[in-house]
Amino acid sequence: MIHEDDLALMVDLYELAMAQAYWAENMTDTATFSLFFRQLPKNRNFMLACGQQRIVELIETLRFTPQQIEQLKHLNRFQPRFLEWLENFRFSGSIRTVDEGTPVFPQEPLLEIEAPIAEAQVLESLVMNYVHLETVLASKAVRAKLAAGDRPVVDFGMRRMHGLDSAHRGVRAYRLAGLSGTSNVQAGLDFGMNVSGTMAHSFVQAYPDEMEAFKVYARLYPGTTLLVDTYDTRRAVARIVEWLKSDPEAQIGGIRLDSGDLAAEAFDCREILDEAGFTDIKIMASGGLDEYRIASLRERDAPIDGFGVGTAIGAACDAPALELAYKLTEYAGEPKMKNSSGKTSFPGAKQVFRQYDAHGTSCGDVIAGVNEDFGGTPLLKPVMTNGRILPGAIGSLDKQAEHAWREILAMPELQRTIAEAPDYPVSISDYLQQLQADTLAKVSVG
Amino acid sequence: MIHEDDLALMVDLYELAMAQAYWAENMTDTATFSLFFRQLPKNRNFMLACGQQRIVELIETLRFTPQQIEQLKHLNRFQPRFLEWLENFRFSGSIRTVDEGTPVFPQEPLLEIEAPIAEAQVLESLVMNYVHLETVLASKAVRAKLAAGDRPVVDFGMRRMHGLDSAHRGVRAYRLAGLSGTSNVQAGLDFGMNVSGTMAHSFVQAYPDEMEAFKVYARLYPGTTLLVDTYDTRRAVARIVEWLKSDPEAQIGGIRLDSGDLAAEAFDCREILDEAGFTDIKIMASGGLDEYRIASLRERDAPIDGFGVGTAIGAACDAPALELAYKLTEYAGEPKMKNSSGKTSFPGAKQVFRQYDAHGTSCGDVIAGVNEDFGGTPLLKPVMTNGRILPGAIGSLDKQAEHAWREILAMPELQRTIAEAPDYPVSISDYLQQLQADTLAKVSVG
């Protein structure tokens, strides 16, 4: 398994091969690389940019260790003097990023790197892996939260997330996406999320009678949530009510439904609880939930007080990958772009200006050259210069989470629903369009 | 980021809460937990079981460190004496698994754990996370290989895999699935996969004329593969041919196509190369490939010699999650199962017998009680007893990869295609069916 203090070989081989070629040719001019996507996945009205901070921190300290240099020798591809270059590698460039938790749209750079070309090239695989993971997970989880409205959504996904790194950093992304808690102990502790959890069916089954399991748990964890669907949900809740009435010391905070028609079960359970006067016992639902099921439960006014969501957000099941690209847009002062079929992009270093109307609603973005000015809020901000993180450039997770929800709520209302929304208006500045046409003309004649 | 020598808190909170309850109640009887799935995802004719070895190795050494115990205190849920129990935790149970690289079907245990109930419960989240990841990725990658037939498939997925753990361990899963190489340097070195890579569009773009880029690369890496689709594929290949004819020292091994109509481009490029006598220069294809596109290219007889596959296998895009379950099936000698709607399972410790016909083709499985015998090959084998891995229980990756392809090729032909196949025949022994009925009757009266 990979450690973050030792990850320089988590890299696609061609990055190192290209770096060696640049080194061998003494090509040390400055390149600009831009991280963006060309279209939104199906079922996404925006992507929530996430993961830029961690990768910037890692870039600052990225080193090839002597052990790694030894390992590279086995590939028989690298010259001893290039391996020395790698061993002395210290990123010396500049990075601008949009703040984490910012909604972003096609063609908008999430991050731009400006550095000697070999240095910027070497970072490609890691930058993409980091930003892709957190952006994909945050962008799915935020939809569960948008569907749940004021009801809390808790992450239950660890078991089916793709490996431990995803299960860990994913929780950070969930925090920015507005989730209220996680079942994952380590990630909750590390990222300041409320850690929560109730019981599994196995606990109920281990006892000859489920009431025994409930009583043991309630005694040990006063105010706990009991899982009531192992055998017969309504019968379990009726028996819990009897017990609570007969034992004034018994105290539970909620019940959890994990299967069946969750709305119907919730209505029935609510009725059983309310009739006995237990109006403060909450009902939590889980079991194959995603944003659509949550929305449907809310439309039916199901009396559910909170949602546990696992697999759907854990693997971002309906859009587990984003066609994120890391493209050279400028080298040695020359704008660059490729001309491969169906893959439009724009050359040059860029800025994105988000415009707001009088009510503070964001009403459109302009993607422009880095030296243009269109008013509104420029989204890309310097976070690193000369290889060093700028003081104050990296905010606390609390601040980032606040920023995320402020920006999400500032979007037009349709963008903030889980239904398919009209495209958010993004325009390309005249300058960039002209630069694209000029560059295209140049590369076409080759 | 999580280190494998320090991952005990990568656990859902409820596992620890239940463990404390068992501890508090002095419930130390033996439990059997079974890891299985209830149905195949769409587009899968089998799942390739993978990941059992690593988790068994981790279970042997799993410890809660003093630092972790300190962290747990902050949750205000655990009694000091239970935290001592955790600090002294050493897994003492037994584990049986199917060999890695074995095709498995619904209801068949991939792994069974028998241990004092608290110990077995604590492992749930980790066991699921490990086996889920590798099984999901191997089961997708094997389809790309089945579609490619005798042409090599190389992993290009790192950038869009879910985090570094997935990008690393995924490559191990790919090796079992029959892939020929990976672009991921660290994972290739660690898991003995050929590490390969060519060049990115950025390299071509960094030069005023793409021929310059090609010449630099071929000089530095004789026999390299050139990426020819940055501007105009046919023109690039025609110019490469001119250059090769004019420079007897120039030597390339292949070209790579990464966009457009790959079959049409491959036919044209092959023709240009062959007419000039460069019949040994290979054509590699990449760019949004999955098993269906590979199959379609093969059907059109496109002259493509190898496939680079990234995102589709990296995130297992069409089935990124498997509804893997870790269920209590026996406690203190009593068979256990739950009765939640739509979630069938079978109680008791199990064995799976794979039957083969006279030609060595597997023709059906029987899921039976652990003490039954149906002939054929029993798939679940002991790998750990009393908390220790059995000598010889863990094979080399080479052996596992061989085993995988022997077992894949032993399946009925339809199972080995990417088209939807009829269900592979899996039957449940009379004993297990009766045990299910008896257990159901018992839990229904509660």
| Within a domain: A335 | yes
Is residue B257 within 8 Å of residue B228, measured between CB atoms? yes
Q: Which residue of A has its CA nearest to B322?
A: A160
Please give the pLDDT value at position B340: 65
Residue B342 binned pLDDT confidence (cut-offs 50, 70, 90): low
| Within a domain: A3 | no
Q: How far is CA A92 from CA A7, A13, A62, B221, in A?
A: 18, 22, 11, 27
| Within a domain: A109 | yes
Residue B88 has pLDDT above 70, yes or no: yes
Q: Which of A266, A287, A314 is the last residue of a domain?
A: A314
| Within a domain: B173 | no
pTM: 0.97
Quick check: ipTM above 0.90?
yes
pLDDT, tens only, B248-281: 999 999 999 999 999 999 999 999 999 999 999 9
pLDDT, tens only, A219-243: 999 999 999 999 999 999 999 999 9
* Best of B67, B164, B328 to mutate (most A CBs within 10 Å, chain A): B164
Is residue A211 within 8 Å of residue A239, measured between CB atoms? yes
Q: Which of B187, B181, B189, B193 is nearest to B161 (CA)?
A: B187
| Within a domain: B216 | no
Same domain (yes/no): A55, A107: yes
| Within a domain: B358 | yes
Quickly count: other Cβ atoms within 10 Å of residue A74's Cβ.
Answer: 9
Please give the pLDDT value at position A238: 98
Residue B341 binned pLDDT confidence (cut-offs 50, 70, 90): low
Residue A12 binned pLDDT confidence (cut-offs 50, 70, 90): very high
Same domain (yes/no): A207, A118: no
* Best of B204, B340, B343 to mutate (most A CBs within 10 Å, chain A): B340
Same domain (yes/no): A286, A185: yes
Alpha-carbon distance of A424 to B344, in angstroms, equals 45
Contact B162 A320 (CB under 8 A): yes
Please give the pLDDT value at position B9: 97
pLDDT, tens only, B38-54: 999 999 999 999 999 99
pLDDT, tens only, A377-421: 999 999 999 999 999 999 899 999 999 999 999 999 999 999 999
| Contact residues for A81 (Cβ-Cβ < 8 A; gap 6+) | none
Higher pLDDT, B3 or B444: B3
Q: Which of A314, A345, A363 is the last residue of a domain?
A: A314
Same domain (yes/no): A395, A437: yes
Residue A351 has pLDDT above 60, yes or no: yes
Same domain (yes/no): A232, A356: no
Residue A345 has pLDDT above 90, yes or no: no
Please give the pLDDT value at position B209: 94
Same domain (yes/no): A151, A72: no
Contact A18 B235 (CB under 8 A): no
Nearest to A315 among B7, B33, B320 (CB): B320
- Return the H-helix or E-strand segment holding A47: strand A47-49
Please give the pLDDT value at position A344: 77
Residue B150 has pLDDT above 80, yes or no: yes
How many separate domains does chain B show? 1
Residue range of the domain that includes A85: 13-138+324-445
Same domain (yes/no): A48, A106: yes
Amino acid residing at A101:
G
Please give the pLDDT value at position B338: 79
Alpha-carbon distance A132 to nearest alpha carbon in chain B (angstroms): 6
Q: Which of A335, A370, A353, A406 is nearest to A101 (CA)?
A: A406
Same domain (yes/no): A330, A440: yes
Calculate the average pLDDT of chain B: 96
Q: Which chain A residues contact residue B242 at CB under 8 A? A: none
Same domain (yes/no): A117, A244: no
In B332-379, beta strands by DSSP E: 334-335, 350-356, 362-369, 377-378
Q: How far is CA A271 from CA A266, A281, A283, A340, B66, in A?
A: 8, 11, 11, 62, 47
Please give the pLDDT value at position A395: 87
Residue B96 has pLDDT above 70, yes or no: yes
Read off the pLDDT of each residue in B135-160 and give the average, rounded to a whole number.
98
Q: How far is CA B302 from CA B183, B290, B306, in A?
A: 24, 15, 11
Same domain (yes/no): A160, A116: no
In A281-356, beta strands by DSSP E: 282-285, 306-309, 324-331, 334-335, 350-356
Contact B31 A206 (CB under 8 A): yes
Residue A446 has pLDDT above 80, yes or no: no
Alpha-carbon distance A229 to nearest alpha carbon in chain B (angstroms): 6
The encoded tokens of residue A364 equal 């459109």
Q: Which of A330-339, B145-154, B232-241, B385-394 has the lowest mean pLDDT?
A: A330-339
CATH value at residue A352: 3.20.140.10
Give chain A's length: 446
CATH value at residue A292: 3.20.20.70
| Within a domain: B295 | no
Please give the pLDDT value at position A207: 95
- CB of B117 within 8 Å of a chain A CB? The answer is yes
Q: Which of A314, A339, A356 is the last residue of a domain?
A: A314
Quickly count: other Cβ atoms within 10 Å of residue B42's Cβ.
Answer: 8
Please give the pLDDT value at position B121: 98
Please give the pLDDT value at position A2: 76
| Within a domain: B273 | no
Same domain (yes/no): A162, A106: no
Same domain (yes/no): A348, A399: yes
